[in-house]
Amino acid sequence: MKKILLGGAIFFLAISLGLAQNDEILKLKEKIIDLQNKGELGFRNFAFCSNIIGFGSYVPLPEPVLDKSGELQVYYEPVNVFTNKKEGLYEIWYTQDMALLSEKGEVLQEWPNALDFHYTTRAPVMDLFAQNSLALGNRVPAGKYKFKAVLKDKLSGKSATKFADFEVR
């Protein structure tokens, strides 16, 4: 009987410690969200890629040069996207425009709201990634270009713009 009581006490203690640790982790995540909500919206790890698998898992091109019959693939991680906390839910909502520009910055083609990410969950989301792709299919002649990405946080009203040079051969 003593063994059962001792085992039950150890089990209860282990569960209590686990719950306390989970509470501490949630508090840290809440603090991170508060810092992100105050931070500058932007892009991290913006890269032209040959392959994109998932968050933090991508193959950047050695140089921003694409085959004219290939595909433009862009990976990035949006930073400081606003998280709305309400009634035990966490909401994130951002859109992203993209545009193809000439080397001089003239708009050749635009894709408004090429990406629309609206997510509500019961657990905080710490890390995000996004990807863009554009099949060139010989539609773009050889030359130098600029890729423009405009990130728009729908909950905070903030926006951020990124330009990246690339070449088509």
Is the model's pLDDT at 10 over the cut of 60? no
Q: What is the pLDDT of residue 11?
A: 55
pLDDT tens digits, one per residue of 46-101: 999 999 999 999 999 999 999 999 999 999 999 999 999 999 999 999 999 999 99
pTM of structure? 0.84
Q: What is the mean pLDDT of residues 136-160?
A: 95
Is the model's pLDDT at 111 over the cut of 80? yes
Confidence of residue 139 (pLDDT cuts 50, 70, 90): confident
pLDDT tens digits, one per residue of 12-50: 544 544 556 788 998 999 999 999 999 999 999 999 999
The residue ranges of every structural domain in the chain are 1-38, 41-168
Is the model's pLDDT at 156 over the cut of 80? yes
Confidence of residue 8 (pLDDT cuts 50, 70, 90): low
Confidence of residue 137 (pLDDT cuts 50, 70, 90): confident
Asked if 118 and 93 count as a contact pair (C-beta separation under 8 A), the reply is yes
CATH code of the domain made up of 41-168 = 2.60.40.2550
Confidence of residue 159 (pLDDT cuts 50, 70, 90): very high
Q: What is the pLDDT of residue 20?
A: 65
Q: What is the mean pLDDT of residues 96-111?
A: 97
Q: What is the pLDDT of residue 105?
A: 96
Provide the 10 A C-beta neighbour count for residue 54. Answer: 9
